[in-house]
Amino acid sequence: MRWLRFTLLAAALAIATVRWPPGLRAAGFAPVFLLVPALEIGLVAPAARAAALGWILGLPLDLLSLEPLGWHAFLFAAVAYGLARLRGAFFADHPVTRAVLGAGATFLVLVALLVRLSFAEPAAAAAGRLPAAILMSLLTGACVPLFASADRRFGLLRGFTEGSRRV
Amino acid sequence: MPLLAPSRSNLKSLAAAPLRLLPAGSGTPAAQAEGWREAFEKLARENAELRERLFAKGDPGRLVPLDPAYWARNPLRIEAAVLARDASPFRGSVLISAGAREGVREGLPVVVGNRLVGTVAAVDGLTSRVRLLTDPGAVVWAQILSRGGEAEGAVRGTGGDRLEMERVAAGVPEKGGPVYTVGGTARIPRGLLIGTASRVEDLDRDGVAEIEVEPAVPLDEIGIVNVLAPPE
């Protein structure tokens, strides 16, 4: 049942990502929806499980993009694993902490995307996209405590958090 | 296009056509040359006046030349709906509802009307992925029109909602000038409108203009597109 719930969640967020209306964007940008549960999983699940689930959440982005297959999956897995390993150093249950950690992790993912883009397409002027990366990081980070609240209410990630050490 | 069988009267008529532009009574080669020169200057003045009028009216797009050889091949217009946008934050592509089964091939231009929005990057049986002009990997060779003439350069996507035109000598391009495809390939014809120059500067004074191009079609809002497929 937990995998069905998780698949439906990933599908809904993938649809939101590719069909998000322009009118609901902030300066033309939207949160990285599929990264939000990956960040929350990194804050509540064991490290290996967080990496695996992060990888699964990144895969739809790879399949629906011109980026190479596996790149988003790898980045999502890496940040989820990193958060799971580092969360002991933070009071991760506080919404502000969640938002800040989420924004920071998102920024790392977006910078990695830009670095790869700058090597693949040298004329892309990837450095000029840093303000966009900062805005998207803030938007995504703001979604993490909201998702955590929804998870507590509806049990979106129930079954994946057992065995974790919460702060 | 079938050739008409040339006849003596056809050939005479064709040969004499340019002479109708000459003033009446011209006979000697020197007089003919002078007549040609005057006719050419008159046409050049009328052309410049027409350009000036269209630019002043804000409608210079009507000066964009067509590609008769391409359109004479009667390319297929494959209509497709945009199913989804690129999921990655810094890429610009869309998934459309036409694929190999409908005749879509890699590299074909994708248009809305006569305005270019991108090229086909990947093809499956029923769908295709179109790389939009705004994708950082998109590059199209183009020309920018201005009162003073035309200039060629490369139009590249930046990952945002604007395009940049590179390698254009400063002095010729001007703001508001239409930017269109140069063609020269079997697949992308000349004269597809790409956008309009929204900013033309040479801030570093190196003789190369920095040109920002606003796409002719708002690429965030496209719903139906056409893939132009000339017969192979």
CB atoms within 10 A of CB A54: 31
CB atoms within 10 A of CB A51: 24
Q: Could you report the per-residue pLDDT of B183-212, keeping only the tens digit for each?
A: 866 688 888 999 999 988 877 777 788 899
Residue A40 is which amino acid?
E
**Chain A hits for B157, Cβ within 8 Å:** 124
Q: Could you report the per-residue pLDDT of A54-90, keeping only the tens digit for each?
A: 999 999 999 889 889 999 999 999 999 999 998 888 7
Taking an 8 Å cut-off on Cβ atoms, the answer to whether B159 and A129 are in contact is yes
List CB contacts of B161: < 8 A, sequence separation 6 or more.
A28, B134, B215, B219, B220
Query: Minimal Cα distance from B131: which residue of A?
Result: A66
Predicted confidence (pLDDT) at residue A113 exceeds the cutoff of 90: yes
Structure-block tokens of residue B156 = 């590249």
Full-model pTM: 0.77
Cα separation, A22 vs B82, whole angstroms: 15
State the nearest Cα–Cα gap between A19 and chain B, in angstroms: 6
CB atoms within 10 A of CB B103: 15
Taking an 8 Å cut-off on Cβ atoms, the answer to whether B89 and A132 are in contact is yes
Q: Is B214 helix (H, G, I), strand (E, B) or coil?
A: strand
Long-range contacts of A7-12, Cβ-Cβ distance < 8 Å, separation of 24 or more: A9/A37, A9/A156, A10/A34, A10/A37, A10/A56, A10/A57, A10/A60, A11/A60
State the nearest Cα–Cα gap between B103 and chain A, in angstroms: 21
A108 touching B (Cβ < 8 Å): no
Question: What is the pLDDT averaged over residues B151-156?
Answer: 90
B86 touching A (Cβ < 8 Å): yes
ipTM above 0.90, yes or no: no
**Chain A hits for B84, Cβ within 8 Å:** 18-19, 64
Strands B224-229 and B76-85: antiparallel
